[in-house]
A and B are shown apart, each in its own frame.
Chain A
Amino acid sequence: MRLILALSALCALLFSTSLFVGSGNVGFWNSLRGYLGAGDPLVVLVMQELRLPRAALAVLIGASLGLAGAGLQGFLRNPLAEPGIVGTSAFAALGAVLALQTGLAAVFPMALPLAGLAGAALSVLLLLALSGPGARTTTLILSGVALSAAAGAMVSLALNLSRNPFAANEMMFWMMGSLADRSFQHVVVALPILALGALLIWSSRKGLDALSLGEETAVSMGVDVRRLRLMLIFGTACLSGAATSVAGMIGFVGLVVPHLLRRATGGLPSRLLVPSAVGGAALILAADITVRVILPGRDLKLGVLTALIGTPVFLHLIWKSRGREA
């Protein structure tokens, strides 16, 4: 509980900082007046329509990715499971790109996160078919590599086949993710699906705890494992699908955050869920502030930063898992 409070306080601090960082050089008081709707109407516009949705999306996306990572790890009983690593984000990006290219998203805005969700769900099913639940690390990573490569190639293909010559430039956004120049529209379309995903994961928390003892023991403890599996697949797909469809692929958040918090929460998957969500939000907020501070106005991709933080943790986990399954 104390951990959740501390992380929430950190989140609140980073959220307020995020509101006052941007490429335009606006002083603190002018920014503040902008948020209150007073002063230069252009400043008001920038604060309320650009920076506020950006910070809000950072919280939503970060929380979703953190929660999705914690849920997926509990589900597959492997600390290396993460939407980005197992290929779920790449499939979500593929779904979103198709929704944009076909014009579906322009006619019906919810089509964007729904297509991301469909792609993500497909990837989890493929992953289970390839590696099975309780997956060994090597199978999990290899399946993830194969799925990511396939989805990445298809995203690239879809962008290159587009009649729109600018589409191919967007590869970078989909592969590395960014929160630049997003709007409240994105918050509005993603929110219901993210909320549904969070609800699904949250309501399967007891099942996740039982599942840490293995599937058979979980059944004997009264867990309907088939139903639990569906809820977790759909829940992680909602979270990473909708998040990726509005912000691109931001890797490693779901890996790093649960890993750092696991010992502090006592190892039970259920106790890891809320701290991971709040921690994920804090991480994305911090990363999004950093990209704007170190390269203002250049739209350094968020995924670049999270990958720089995430890869050492990832390598450390691989190193640790070497002995266990030689």
Chain B
Amino acid sequence: MVRHLAKAGCIALGLWLGGAADAAPPQRVVSMNLCTDQLAMLVAAPGQLVSVSYLAVDPMASAMVAQAETLPVNHGLAEEIAFLRPDLVLAGRYTTRVTVDMLTRLGHRVEIFEPENSLDDIRANLRQMGRVLGREARAEALVAQMDAELAQIAAAAPPVRPETAIYYSSGFTSGAGSLGNTIVETAGLENIAPRLGMGAGGVIPLEALILAGPRLVVRGQTYQGHSRGEEMLRHPALEAMLTPPRAQAETRPEWSCGTPLTVNAIRALQDAARAGAGL
């Protein structure tokens, strides 16, 4: 028994050393997190990425469904990932700790990405992705393109910053230090969550939301298969409030992960605010 364990340890160590010593770009990359899925699909060379997470093909969560559908999906289980024989695994900070540990023990190289809550986070993660995939040039190009588009958006920002509330299922909202807040602020709007004493996230009572009277309410997308929490998004009082000059918008899949595609969400929000509020 002990001998077997020792042998397994040697193999694992050997694999690990082999992986670390290999300076050539990885050839079989598996991503197990929705956000790394999308960053990797944007940055990787053709054929370099062999599997993405199952969420990448969910049109409610992923902004890159068409591209993800050309790849096999995984469910983030250590066993199925090990069988894909990856030479690099991409995971998010909040991917199940146990699975990541298990994969590391099995000798796989696991690269962890922090969640993107700001534009700088997006830039940093793009560059990190470029570095680990050996595609630094592609990553820099994406950053440059994103910055150019952001500059256009900033130029088009409304003169006054209209008050905006984010209202997800069950009354959850996003405040300072969240990606939702970044999208709202970059679009040139003012998120009311900090004024209502909210942190990065929290539940905002409908009564408080209505009394705050924001010009624009961004509601979470509604899923098929309704739930009580989504009834609240369609509460008659909220519907009655959201008549002109107040405006409404919906979140898009780009709100779940910070990628260069988030720029599209920012632009769409800005357009919605302009069209709805007549700015």
Contacts and interface: CB of A to CB of B under 8 A. Distances in A.
Given A42-B213, A102-B225, A169-B170, A23 B207 contact: yes
A184 B235 CA distance: 9
B223 interface: yes
A163 interface: yes
Contacts, number: 101
Contact of B207 (A50, A164, A169, A185): A50
Given A166-B170, A169-B170, A50 B210 contact: yes
Given A101-B227, A173-B228, A43 B236 contact: no
A216 interface: no
Contacts of B224: 103, 163-164
B112 interface: no
Interface in A25-72: 26, 42-43, 45-46, 49-51
B203 interface: yes
Contacts of A163: 223-225
Interface in A165-199: 165-167, 169-170, 173-174, 180-181, 183-185
A166 B168 contact: yes
Contacts of B208: 23-24, 297
Interface size class of A (residues with CB under 8 A): 35 or more
Q: DSSP class of B's interface residues: helix, strand, loop or mixed?
A: helix
A49 B225 contact: no
A166 to B, nearest CB: 4
A184 B226 contact: no
B235 A164 contact: no
Given A101-B226, A166-B227, A46 B237 contact: yes
A103 B231 CA distance: 11
A94 to B, nearest CB: 14
A103 B205 contact: no
Contacts of A165: 223
B143 interface: no
Contacts of B229: 166-167, 169-170
B121 interface: no
B148 interface: no
A100 B227 contact: yes
A46 B204 CA distance: 14
B24 interface: no
B172 to A, nearest CB: 8
Interface in B214-264: 220, 223-232, 235-237, 240-241
A100 B213 contact: no
Interface string B196-210: 000000011111101
29 contacts: A42-B210, A49-B240, A50-B206, A50-B207, A50-B210, A50-B235, A50-B237, A100-B226, A100-B228, A101-B226, A103-B225, A103-B226, A105-B226, A106-B226, A162-B227, A163-B223, A163-B224, A164-B224, A164-B230, A166-B220, A167-B227, A170-B228, A170-B229, A180-B206, A181-B232, A183-B237, A297-B208, A299-B203, A299-B205
Given A169-B169, A183-B236, 6 more contacts: A22-B205, A24-B205, A42-B211, A50-B235, A164-B227, A299-B203
The 7 closest A-B pairs by CB, nearest first: A49-B237, A24-B211, A164-B223, A166-B169, A23-B205, A181-B206, A167-B227
